[in-house]
């Protein structure tokens, strides 16, 4: 999370090219949305007893249990999106590569807004995988992963999860109010009988981003500025004042 925020803060909306970052979580952890009340939504005693780390994202949305997943983050500026794109439209544009990715794996991904399923979209839920936004991606009517944004002036940051195995029910067990039927409402790559190693998935994600966004990718490392910023931010993400209370 420190690196994600460093990439956002170091991004120049005029000169910086858009970037894609791929990473994972070890050990598994819970992340809170930027404005969530940790004590209000999480069973903190259970979290402490199990020893699961709790961290707060810079993006909004509900709690996510990060385990057995691939995670991506994108940083770009408004000029990299189609003209007059609204926030909602930007989700369609910036998640388009995920439709390509799931399609390459033989799946049939659809946006929730494009399906007639009778469920209300946009209803806020404390646990990310229990809710559905317009541009959440569904496979056979079940939600796969989640995506969230943060914006600073002309800079857009988005990150999201691609679940390898279904740990949603385990994650829901850390909530104060556990959503019912969460396992039946979600799907993962393993449940679709798709098994590859992490390097293969990352290659396919990068290729899908290149094709879906119509860009040329160049592998790169963190700049000195980004590395310095991430180093300073790591203290923030180790501090309960931020992670539990949202105080900077």
Active site (catalytic) residues: 128
Work out the angle between the directed axes of helices 224-237 and 2-10 (0-180°, nearest 10): 140
Residues 6+ apart with CB under 8 A from 88: 134, 135
Asked whether 124 and 93 are in contact (CB, 8 A), the reply is no
* Residue (of 235, 231, 247, 242) closest to 55 by Cα position: 242
Round to whole Å and give the CA distance between 98 and 74: 12
Round to whole Å and give the CA distance between 177 and 173: 9
To which residue do tokens 């990060």 refer?
A: 66
Asked whether 138 and 109 are in contact (CB, 8 A), the reply is yes
Q: Which residues pair with 207 in a beta bridge?
A: none
């Amino acid at each position: 999370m420190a690196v994600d925020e460093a990439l956002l803060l170091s991004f120049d909306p005029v000169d910086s090219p858009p970037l894609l970052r791929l990473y994972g979580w070890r050990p598994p952890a819970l992340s809170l949305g930027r404005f969530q009340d940790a004590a209000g939504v999480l069973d903190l005693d259970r979290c402490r007893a199990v020893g699961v780390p709790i961290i707060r994202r810079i993006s909004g949305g509900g709690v996510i249990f990060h385990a057995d997943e691939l995670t991506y983050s994108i940083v770009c500026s408004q000029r990299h999106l189609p003209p007059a794109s609204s926030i909602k439209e930007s989700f369609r544009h910036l998640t388009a590569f995920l439709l390509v990715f799931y399609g390459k794996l033989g799946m049939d991904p659809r946006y929730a807004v494009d399906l007639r399923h009778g469920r209300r979209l946009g209803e806020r839920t404390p646990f990310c995988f229990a809710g559905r936004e317009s541009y959440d991606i569904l496979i056979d009517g079940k939600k796969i992963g989640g995506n969230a944004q943060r914006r600073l002036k002309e800079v857009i940051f988005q990150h999201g999860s691609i679940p390898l195995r279904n740990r949603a029910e385990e994650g829901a067990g850390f909530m104060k109010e556990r959503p019912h039927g969460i396992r039946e409402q979600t799907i993962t790559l393993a449940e679709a009988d798709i098994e590859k190693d992490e390097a293969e998935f990352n290659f396919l994600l990068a290729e899908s981003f290149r094709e879906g966004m119509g860009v040329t990718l160049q592998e790169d490392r963190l700049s000195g500025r980004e590395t310095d910023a991430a180093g300073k931010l790591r203290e923030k993400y180790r501090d309960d004042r931020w992670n539990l209370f949202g105080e900077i």
